[in-house]
Amino acid sequence: MLALIAPAHAAEWWMQPAVRAGAEYNDNIRFATGTTEKATGYFVSPDIGFGVAEENWRVTGGANLKSVRYSSVDDLDADDYRASLNGRYNTQRNAWTVDGSSAKQSLLASDVVDADTGLSRQDRDRRTKALRPAWSWAADERTQLRTDYGYTDVRYDYDAAADLFDYRQNSGAITLLRDITPRWQISASFGYADFQTRNPTPGTTDYTARSETTTAQVGFTHMLSETLRIGLTGGSRRTKFDQVVRCAVRLPSGVCLFPGFSTRSETDSGSVYSLDVSQDFPRSRIVFRMARSVEPSGGGSQVESDSATVTVDHRLSERLQLTLSGQGYRHRTVGGDTTLVDRDYYSGGPRISWMLTEHWTLDSAYRYTHLKYPGGGAEANQNIVSMTLTYRWSRWTISR
């Protein structure tokens, strides 16, 4: 995000490059539940951030590349990227924003934890494109109406044994917010998500399964003090799952041997909620989040995701910072019988960041992960130790 807004009629342009390099040791690189495979990886990751802003608008963006090479498992070598572009335009009562991104990630080498983590024990590249515009309108000084739309398209490299399905999702939400007092805010929202998935067999273009989820929630945000904040939303969801089968028997090559058409529909309902608590101290900050939501997944259906995360940041000195983090996820299939995607994920560990100079930073981290598949009772454990050296150039700015 841009820290400074330029004076009226004078655009502030900025750019800031950086490069990271490091190594990590992983004692179970494939999340195997039986015989494990150890690996040491080395990576280099250049990135750049940029932006431009005037009094009532701004545009920011960034691009990142990451190349990873492993000493003993060449088939897991990865070259990932991510690019994003964000814009905002303000008037007296209105604000328009749009966020767009494109990314390619290796599922086993990725640091991102989501509904695909642990889904496949085969490494596959995932390509994601996302677009999220939003509009908000201030009816008065205390009331705001916000609308959001999201489009996500995800595709996986094809492999017959990977059991991953390409998908796309369109979602939207409308939210009404009201400031009761300077410390109290209440909200009500309605959301809708249309999830469609297809088998990524080469030549397949039809989306063969669909689920629609509607949600209704109410909530509040309260500043208990200058340093303690709590937010809570909760409500219900209803998911309608339709599976369309256009071929009764399909050969491994993808050729349909016996064409056919059938559908199966069912409805599933449940609850959704989110709880956020943050506490600031003179040298520390604690953030806790617990939530239940419905998320898209490459397993062929949406999943109900229960999550809990806690992060503690503590500044040991002006140049040294300690971060302790823990997270747990419980994923269960929504509206179908694809129980192979059900899994429990727990992870946590410390990170120490040392600012060597104004431009150089050294990070050391350890992370333990436990993955369990309730359907078959299989479990996997993983330990990762990593070290990263970062050089960040000073921000280059131009005012015009």
Angle at 150 between CA 266 and CA 172, to 5 degrees: 60
- Dihedral (Cα; 167, 129, 108, 16), 10-degree rounding: -170
Q: Which two tokens stand for residue 12?
A: 């502030």
* Model pLDDT, residue 358: 94
* Model pLDDT, residue 2: 35
Domains of the chain, by residue range, sit at 12-399
**How far is the C-alpha of 232 from the C-alpha of 129, rounded, in Å?**
30
* Model pLDDT, residue 168: 94
* Model pLDDT, residue 85: 97
* Model pLDDT, residue 160: 55
Residue ranges in the chain assigned as alpha helix (H) = none
Q: For 343-391, how does the pLDDT look when each residue is reduced to its tens digit (9 = 90+)?
A: 899 999 999 999 999 999 999 999 999 988 876 668 889 999 999 999 9
- Coil/strand/helix, residue 74: helix
- CA distance between the termini of the chain: 20
Question: pTM (2 decimals)?
Answer: 0.85
* Model pLDDT, residue 31: 83
* Model pLDDT, residue 259: 55
**How far is the C-alpha of 85 from the C-alpha of 100, rounded, in Å?**
5
Q: How far is CA 217 from CA 9, 152, 183, 190, 374, in A?
A: 42, 23, 21, 7, 30
Cβ distance 102 to 80 under 8 Å? no
Fold of 12-399: Porin (2.40.160)
Low-confidence ranges of the chain (pLDDT < 70): 1-9, 121, 158-163, 199-208, 243-264, 335-340, 375-377
* Rg, the chain, Cα only: 23
Q: Which two tokens stand for residue 389?
A: 């050296």
* Model pLDDT, residue 73: 81
Cβ distance 320 to 356 under 8 Å? no
Cβ distance 235 to 217 under 8 Å? yes
* Model pLDDT, residue 50: 97
